[in-house]
Amino acid sequence: MSLLRKYDSCIGLLLFKCGQYTAELWYCPAGYVIPEHSHPHEDIELMFIMGQTTFYRRKPFKVDEQSYTPKWYQAFRTFSVEAGWSHRFTVGKLPLVFINFAKWQAGIKPTSASVDFELLTK
């Protein structure tokens, strides 16, 4: 698999891969909305680097949604999403840059968050 990753208009770069762990740097353009989805084979930590966004997550079979809107001074803070939890995010007027740290489940060959992606339908 290539070092460059893509999901719609978002571009990713593989930073690290060792065993069941990967790290990808992602850029999402201003105004981008990623729909509610899940990654069934990976626990992830989304590390905010810069930009404007609100991250949302929802536990399976729950209606209530949790959100996190990081400020510029909260760079390098993370937002956890367990395998199978749904999540989404919206990007504000500034592009978003974040790192996706993933721990892949045993027996699963690590790929990319853009590959291990299940869109949720409503």
How do residues 34-53 score in pLDDT, each as one tens digit?
A: 999 999 999 999 999 999 99
Average pLDDT, the chain: 94
| CATH for 4-119 (2.60.120.10, 3.30.1020.10, 3.40.50.10860, 2.40.370.10) | 2.60.120.10
Domain boundaries, the chain: 4-119
Is residue 8's pLDDT more than 60?
yes
Report yes or no on whether pTM surpasses 0.75: yes
Give the whole-angstrom CA distance, residue 35 versus residue 75.
Answer: 23
79 burial type by CB count under 10 A (0-12 exposed, 13-18 middle, 19+ buried): buried
How do residues 50-78 score in pLDDT, each as one tens digit?
A: 999 999 999 988 889 999 999 999 999 99
